[in-house]
């Protein structure tokens, strides 16, 4: 493969993806995702924004130290303090990268930075030069590039490359670009930046108009060679370019996109599920590549065609993304070895003690339902292994309701090691249970969202509940799963409250 045909996959799930409203990953959760991204084969992993908080610094540092088969990068504003902090976090990494950024559009210069173009040019040069005192692996991003004056942008890129930048990033920060115009802009930068051949040209697109993937593919065709993206397309507002969409577009339409990536596509499904489980952001059923319906066929004509020849209605083989047609279904007679094998296959890297905890819950669940599917296991791992420290733990739940009965819930919660119990009346059993939890925890949070999904089919399926809470400026998401939907709801509520405590 010609090096010029290689597309570098820069994954920012743990930085830009974590900026999705309500998402807050702890260090262990970031490590779980980071290990899976390494299995997936991403080239660069943006681990976080170290100067933002001690927790972010620690997560970036641990990821850089542990992951050796990819480059770990840390984000830094164009300031000496940010760059120093970023380097401290990543310096133990394998070829670590400092990623510094500064806005270049006139609207940002006027209203956000209150700087002239000349001042911004010098800030960018100075930041990259300072980063170059630590490493030769430096990326510079021109925030809001798609709304910047292109001649000024080319001058900025020329200046930072001379100062030591080895990657220059052209972000469509607010999802403003249209594919054919975005391609024109990328071509202009390639043609009018004299030293562009000394650096990799990157793109980072947001999905505000639903065009992120289309913009990325257009940019690749005009000279971009690094794609900044997230698993499941998560991120601020409408999200980022979805990694799985770009990778599978290149793999599927190699005739139009004669490029290669280093992604092990059979790890895509496992990675998608892991990110969804840990972030609490469900993947929409009709999401391209990884949605539940992506390879489902209900139309009789489509079913008949696929049975006769898969390619009549499937342009991709589901096995290529790790979605096997025949799934080994676990049940109550399955042992630890079968469970461990399935968990490994799903991308979980668990210790024996963690497997034992999941196995105990697995056996309990298997007594309640006949078959256990991968989605059930995702929920069990989230409950038993990937939980944040719990100040509040559910110890008892009893509800009463029905026609002619005022719904009542009696809830027991362990708080700081002490059991407390209260009973409350509500509009329904879940409302009554939530009121009891609120009474016990004295929470001042506000419930923004409450959603219920069936993890698998059948009346014995586990219910998965997601809640979103707000307290002051903090917004968090909580998840809970159980065959009993009221129990799942209380677990989700307590998970969200524990996340609020963790963030505090």
State the Cα angle at 149 between 144 and 150, rounded to 5°: 95
Q: What local confidence, expressed as pLDDT, does residue 366 receive?
A: 81
Q: 260 and 115, same structural domain?
A: yes
Q: What local confidence, expressed as pLDDT, does residue 502 receive?
A: 79
Residue 281: φ, ψ to 5°: -100, 105
Alpha-carbon span 144 to 170, nearest angstrom: 8
Q: 397 and 379, same structural domain?
A: no
Q: Which domain holds residue 149?
A: 3-279
User: For the chain, percent helix, then strand, then coil, each to nearest 5?
Assistant: 45, 20, 35
Note whether residue 80 is domain-resident: yes
CB burial of 399-426 (b: ≥16 within 10 Å; e: otherwise) equals: beeeeeeebbbbbbbbeeeeeeeeebeb
Task: Using only the alpha carbons of the chain, give its radius of gyration.
Answer: 24
Alpha carbon 294 to its chain centroid, in Å, reads 19
Range 262-290 average pLDDT: 90
- pLDDT single digits (tens) 165-183: 999 999 999 999 999 999 9
- pLDDT of 405 above 50: yes
- pLDDT single digits (tens) 100-128: 999 999 999 999 999 999 999 999 999 99
Alpha-carbon span 342 to 328, nearest angstrom: 9
Cβ-based neighbours of 181, under 8 Å, separated by 6 or more? none
Q: What is the DSSP string of 228-285?
A: EEBGGG--STT-B-BHHHHHHHHHHTTTT---B----GGGHHHHHHHHHHHHT-PPPT
- pLDDT of 50 above 90: yes
Q: 246 and 228, same structural domain?
A: yes
Note whether residue 115 is domain-resident: yes
Q: 339 and 229, same structural domain?
A: no
Q: 104 and 159, same structural domain?
A: yes
* pLDDT averaged over every residue in the chain: 90
Alpha-carbon span 396 to 425, nearest angstrom: 16
Take residue 206 and report the two structure tokens written for it. Answer: 């947001």
Among 62-71, 300-309, 427-436, where is mean pLDDT lowest?
Answer: 300-309
Q: What local confidence, expressed as pLDDT, does residue 103 receive?
A: 98
Name the pLDDT band for 304 (thresholds 50, 70, 90). Answer: low
Q: 378 and 445, same structural domain?
A: no
Alpha-carbon span 298 to 276, nearest angstrom: 25
How many structural domains compose the chain?
Answer: 3
Alpha-carbon span 34 to 14, nearest angstrom: 8
- pLDDT of 327 above 60: no
The domain that contains 40 carries what CATH number? 3.20.20.70
Range 428-439 average pLDDT: 96
Q: What SS3 state is found at 391?
A: coil
- Which H or E run includes 432? helix 429-441
Q: Which pairs with CB-CB distance under 8 Å and at least 24 residues apart come from 347-355?
A: 347/36, 347/39, 347/267, 347/270, 347/271, 347/273, 347/274, 348/32, 348/274, 348/381, 348/385, 349/32, 349/35, 349/36, 350/381, 350/385, 354/384, 354/385
Take residue 269 and report the two structure tokens written for it. Answer: 């499904």
Q: What percent of the chain has pLDDT over 70?
A: 93
Note whether residue 221 is domain-resident: yes
Q: 417 and 472, same structural domain?
A: yes
Q: 237 and 124, same structural domain?
A: yes
Name the pLDDT band for 326 (thresholds 50, 70, 90). Answer: very low
In the block, tokens 């609020």 appear at 500
Q: 406 and 373, same structural domain?
A: no
Note whether residue 294 is domain-resident: no
The CA-to-CA distance between both ends of the chain, in Å, stands at: 50
Higher pLDDT, 1 or 501: 501
What separation in angstroms does the CA of 411 have from each of 220, 398, 428, 485, 486? 56, 7, 14, 15, 11
- pLDDT of 28 above 80: yes
The domain that contains 442 carries what CATH number? 3.30.160.270
Note whether residue 189 is domain-resident: yes
Q: 493 and 466, same structural domain?
A: yes
Q: Which of 319-333, 428-442, 477-491 has the highest mean pLDDT?
A: 428-442
Q: Which pairs with CB-CB distance under 8 Å and at least 24 residues apart come from 311-317?
A: 315/252, 316/248, 316/251, 316/252, 316/289
Name the pLDDT band for 299 (thresholds 50, 70, 90). Answer: low
Q: 445 and 352, same structural domain?
A: no
- pLDDT single digits (tens) 215-251: 999 999 999 999 999 999 999 999 999 999 999 999 9
Alpha-carbon span 391 to 502, nearest angstrom: 9
**Residue 22 class from Cβ within 10 Å (0-12 exposed, 13-18 middle, 19+ buried)?**
buried
In 332-420, alpha helices (H): 336-345, 352-366, 374-384
Q: What local confidence, expressed as pLDDT, does residue 457 receive?
A: 66
Residue of 151, 144, 222 lying closest to 181 (CA atoms): 222
Note whether residue 183 is domain-resident: yes
- pLDDT of 300 above 70: no
Q: 442 and 333, same structural domain?
A: no
């Amino acid at each position: 493969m010609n090096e010029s045909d290689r597309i570098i996959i820069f994954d920012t799930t743990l930085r830009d993806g974590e900026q999705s409203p309500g998402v807050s990953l702890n260090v262990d959760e970031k490590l779980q995702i980071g290990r899976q991204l390494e299995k997936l084969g991403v080239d660069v992993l943006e681990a976080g924004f170290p100067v933002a908080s001690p927790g972010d610094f620690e997560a970036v540092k641990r990821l850089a130290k542990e992951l050796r088969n990819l480059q770990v990068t840390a984000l830094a504003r164009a300031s000496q303090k940010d760059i120093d902090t970023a380097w401290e976090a990543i310096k133990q990494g394998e070829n670590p990268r400092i990623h510094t950024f500064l806005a270049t559009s006139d609207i940002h210069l006027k209203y956000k930075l209150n700087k002239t173009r000349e001042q911004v040019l010098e800030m960018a040069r100075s930041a990259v030069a300072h980063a170059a005192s630590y490493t030769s692996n430096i990326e510079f991003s021109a925030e809001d590039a798609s709304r910047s004056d292109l001649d000024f942008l080319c001058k900025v890129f020329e200046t930072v490359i001379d100062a030591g930048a080895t990657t220059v990033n052209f972000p469509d920060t607010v999802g403003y670009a249209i594919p054919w115009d975005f391609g024109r802009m990328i071509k202009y930068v390639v043609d009018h930046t004299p030293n562009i051949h000394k650096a990799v040209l990157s793109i980072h697109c947001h999905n505000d108009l639903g065009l992120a993937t289309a913009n990325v593919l257009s940019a690749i065709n005009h000279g971009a060679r690094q794609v900044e993206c997230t698993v499941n397309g998560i991120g601020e507002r409408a999200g980022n370019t979805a990694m799985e969409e770009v990778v599978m577009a290149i793999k599927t339409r190699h005739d139009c996109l004669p490029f290669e990536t280093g992604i092990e596509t059979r790890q895509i499904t496992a990675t998608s599920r892991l990110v969804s489980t840990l972030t609490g952001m469900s993947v929409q059923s009709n999401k391209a590549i990884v949605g539940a319906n992506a390879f489902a066929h209900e139309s009789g004509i489509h079913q008949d065609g696929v049975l006769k020849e898969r390619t009549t209605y499937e342009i991709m083989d589901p096995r290529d993304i790790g979605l096997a047609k025949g799934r080994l279904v676990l049940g109550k007679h399955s042992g630890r070895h079968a469970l461990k094998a399935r968990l490994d296959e799903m991308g979980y890297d668990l210790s024996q003690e963690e497997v034992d905890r999941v196995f105990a819950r697995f056996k309990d669940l298997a007594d309640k339902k006949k078959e256990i599917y991968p989605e059930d296991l995702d929920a069990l791992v989230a409950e038993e292994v990937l939980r944040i420290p719990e100040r509040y733990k559910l110890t008892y739940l009893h509800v009463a309701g029905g026609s002619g009965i005022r719904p009542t819930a009696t809830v027991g919660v362990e708080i700081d090691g002490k059991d407390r119990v209260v009973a409350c009346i509500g509009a329904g059993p879940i409302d009554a249970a939530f009121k009891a939890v609120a009474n016990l925890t004295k929470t001042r949070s506000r419930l923004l969202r409450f959603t219920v999904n069936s993890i698998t089919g059948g009346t014995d399926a586990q219910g998965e509940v997601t809640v979103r809470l707000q307290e002051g400026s903090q917004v968090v998401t909580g998840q809970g799963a159980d065959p009993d939907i009221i129990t799942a709801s209380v677990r989700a509520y307590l998970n969200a409250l524990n996340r609020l405590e963790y963030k505090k």
